[in-house]
């Protein structure tokens, strides 16, 4: 089958995004794309047929190469995920652990689900925040469109609002005018900070909440005070874990799903939490009242493979444009699809070797991360034009429905047919090496930052 023009155009545009050491960077991305399994080190990628240069140029490209990140972001946005309407994006952080890299600067301490340090699920490393477009089909494909390294002195909520705002600017008024984009966040994000940071932006936000949160309704619903004084700022209290405090929902949606059985979604509009004073004790003035919609999702059962666990209730916080109401059917399905981003993280780490290199400087890690995302985007574009290479005991998939692992296995033949825009290498002989008598010296040590400023 002939390769689509979209993949050929993407590769040409991706090559134009590479400035310094462009040929070495492009062939490094092709080596990542054609490697069938995660290699133990980047030097092993130089053995791939698509990488025509030596291993020294590989490390030199990561150290001295330059990528036009803004142009690459625009390129990824122009190739959305097929069948991903309405536009729903997932935002989450993944950690590149560098526990023993004392010579690597800008490391922080972050939560890690599998690795532990001193008996705690906390590791030292670099945190990267991704934005990926989701698909409502029952598959694990996503379309990452942006990534940003969250430095220890930065807050993930502030970085997320900047990323979302920049993405809305790249989408343009034509895209955002068709359907308002929905951004889905996990429980590690603060809905108040996100909502205040994106106030006035043409988007919707959906944030998971802890089950023990408390919210307050309109103060006009309370009885008037017995004496004259300051007007009420908070109305009736609603405890998420105490059903006796729940008022009547403002909207309700009930449906049947093949995987989750009976699904019930209830919403309470014009609710707000109490905002903590993070500006210090000496700050004056009333704290802001951030009003949104509280959503409760209840399912009958979990899908196949998770049926042994008892389903728990899901609390969500929704906020959209002024005068709009939430689409409850879209809300609960969007949060279910958010977990596809977790599958993408696992594939990038285990199959494409995202966290494999032990580079010293975070700028090198940033370049490697963008190369991995560009390779993953090419996998998605090659999905409909590669033949399935499966073992006898593996499941058979329809044409165009291959998983990322299956496409990764068969993409080498397609790239050989497409060719490469990179120029052939020009050997310059043996390197002279380090001058005689010159010592490299002891590398500087950088302690990991324990607390954000």
Question: Mean pLDDT, 10 residues at a time, over the chain (453 residues)?
Answer: 74 94 93 83 86 87 94 94 84 93 92 77 93 90 96 94 95 75 94 93 94 84 63 83 92 92 94 73 66 94 75 93 91 93 94 92 96 95 88 85 90 87 82 80 88 52
Split into its structural domains, the chain has a count of 1
Q: How far is CA 199 from CA 150, 161, 168, in A?
A: 22, 10, 13
Residue 375 inside a domain? The answer is yes
Q: Which tokens is 50 given?
A: 């698509």
Fill in the DSSP letter of residue 336.
Answer: H
pTM over 0.75: yes
Cα–Cα distance between 139 and 148 in angstroms, integer? Answer: 25
Residue 101 inside a domain? The answer is no
What's the 3-state SS for the chain? Answer: CCCCHHHHHHHHHHHHCECCCHHHHHHHHHHHHHCCCCCCCHHHHHHCCCCCCCHHHHHHHHHHCCECHHHHHHHHHCCCCCCCCCCEEEEEEEEEECCCCCCCCCCEEEECCCCCECCECEEEEEEEEEEEECCCCCCCCCEEEEEEEECCCCCHHHHHHHHHHHHHHHHHHHHHHHCCCEEEECCCCCHHHHHHHCCCCCCEEEEEECCCCEEECCHHHCCCCCCCCCCCCCCCEEECCCHHHCCCCCEEEEEEECCCEEEEEEEEEEEECCCCCCCCCCCCCCCCCCCEEEEEEEECCCCCCCCCCCCCCEEEEEECCCCCCCCHHHHHHHHHHCCHHHHHHHHHHHCCCCCCCCCCCHHHHHHHHHHHHHHHHHHHHCHHHCCCCCCCCCCCCCCCCCCHHHHHHHHHHHHHHHCCCCCCCCCCCCCCCCCCCCCCCCCCCCCCECCCC
> What's residue 192's pLDDT?
93
> What's residue 2's pLDDT?
45
Consecutive H or E run containing 170:
helix 156-178
> What's residue 363's pLDDT?
96
CB 128 within 8 A of CB 94: yes
Residue 44 inside a domain? The answer is yes
Tell me the three state secondary structure of residue 317. Answer: strand
Residue 63 inside a domain? The answer is yes
Residue 403 inside a domain? The answer is yes
Cα–Cα distance between 381 and 393 in angstroms, integer? Answer: 27
298: phi then psi, degrees, rounded to nearest 5: -130, 130
CB 407 within 8 A of CB 27: no
Residue 134 inside a domain? The answer is no
Cα–Cα distance between 55 and 151 in angstroms, integer? Answer: 30
Residue 447 inside a domain? The answer is no
CB 109 within 8 A of CB 449: yes
**Domain carrying residue 51:** 5-72+363-391+399-418
Q: In terms of Cα–Cα distance, which of 254, 244, 218, 222 is closest to 329?
A: 254
> What's residue 453's pLDDT?
40
Residue 343 inside a domain? The answer is no
């Amino acid at each position: 089958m002939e390769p689509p023009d979209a993949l050929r155009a993407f590769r040409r545009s991706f090559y134009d995004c590479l400035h310094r050491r462009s040929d070495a960077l492009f062939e490094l991305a092709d080596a990542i794309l054609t490697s069938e399994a995660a290699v133990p080190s980047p030097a092993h990628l130089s053995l791939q047929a698509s990488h025509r240069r030596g291993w020294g140029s590989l490390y030199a490209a990561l150290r001295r190469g330059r990528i036009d990140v803004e142009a690459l972001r625009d390129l990824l946005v122009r190739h959305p995920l097929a069948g991903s309407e309405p536009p729903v994006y997932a935002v989450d952080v993944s950690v590149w652990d560098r526990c023993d890299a004392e010579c690597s600067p800008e490391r922080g301490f972050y939560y890690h689900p599998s690795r532990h340090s001193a008996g705690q699920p906390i590791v030292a490393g670099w945190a990267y925040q991704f934005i990926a477009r989701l698909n409502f089909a029952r598959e694990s494909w996503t379309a990452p469109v942006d990534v940003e390294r969250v430095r220890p002195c930065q807050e993930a909520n502030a970085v997320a609002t900047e990323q979302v705002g920049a993405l809305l600017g790249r989408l343009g008024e034509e895209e955002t005018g068709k359907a308002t984009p929905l951004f889905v966040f996990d429980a590690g994000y603060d809905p108040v900070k996100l909502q205040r940071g994106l106030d006035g932006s043409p988007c919707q936000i959906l944030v998971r909440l802890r089950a023990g949160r408390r919210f307050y309704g309109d103060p006009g619903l309370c009885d008037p005070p017995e004496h004259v004084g300051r007007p009420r700022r908070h109305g009736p209290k609603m405890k998420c874990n105490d059903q006796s405090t729940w008022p009547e929902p403002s909207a309700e949606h009930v449906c049947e799903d093949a995987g989750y059985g009976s699904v019930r979604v209830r919403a309470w509009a014009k609710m707000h939490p109490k905002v903590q004073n993070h500006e210090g004790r000496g700050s004056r003035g009333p704290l802001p009242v951030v009003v949104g919609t509280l959503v409760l999702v209840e399912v009958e059962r979990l899908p196949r493979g998770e049926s042994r666990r008892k389903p728990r209730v899901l609390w969500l916080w929704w906020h959209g444009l002024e005068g709009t109401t939430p689409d409850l059917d879209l809300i609960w399905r969007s949060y279910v699809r958010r977990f596809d981003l977790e599958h993408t993280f696992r594939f990038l780490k285990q199959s494409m070797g995202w966290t494999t290199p032990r580079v010293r400087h975070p700028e090198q890690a940033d370049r490697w991360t963008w190369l991995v995302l560009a390779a993953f985007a090419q996998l998605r574009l090659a999905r409909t034009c590669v033949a399935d290479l499966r073992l006898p005991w593996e499941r058979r998939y329809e044409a165009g429905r291959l998983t990322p692992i299956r496409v990764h296995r068969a993409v080498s033949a397609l790239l050989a047919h497409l060719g490469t825009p990179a120029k052939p290498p020009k050997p310059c002989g043996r390197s002279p090496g380090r001058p005689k008598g010159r010592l490299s010296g002891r590398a500087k040590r950088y302690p990991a930052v324990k607390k954000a400023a």
